[in-house]
Amino acid sequence: MGSALPSLYRLSSDVVTRDIDGGLVLVNLATGGTWKLNETGAELCRVLERGASLEEMSAALVRRFGVTEEVAGPDARRLLEALMAQGLVTGPTAA
């Protein structure tokens, strides 16, 4: 058998984003809810706009901010879980 394909996560189709002061605002058009993210959260959401695995999200933080995988991995997971709990991210789906 082949190796498993990575699971992809994406921003919900009900979510629009706007850049603001080094961060990002997410607006859920279905609920009217808004969320303001810092620069780290903004970077992760930009990756999620095109679809990404948790590993790709973590790698984006390593590239952008020069942190280690040990720092980036848990940070990416926490934000992903928080966004999913608010219905802002869908997934996982097969790549």
Domain ranges of the chain: 8-87
- CATH node for 8-87: 3.90.930.60
**In this structure, what are the phi and psi dihedrals at residue 27, rounded to the nearest 5 degrees?**
-125, 125
Distances from the Cα of 23 to the Cαs of 15, 36, 39, 43, 68, in angstroms?
16, 7, 5, 8, 22
pLDDT in tens, the chain (95 residues): 444 556 899 999 999 999 998 899 999 999 999 999 999 999 999 999 999 999 999 999 999 999 999 999 999 999 999 999 999 999 887 55
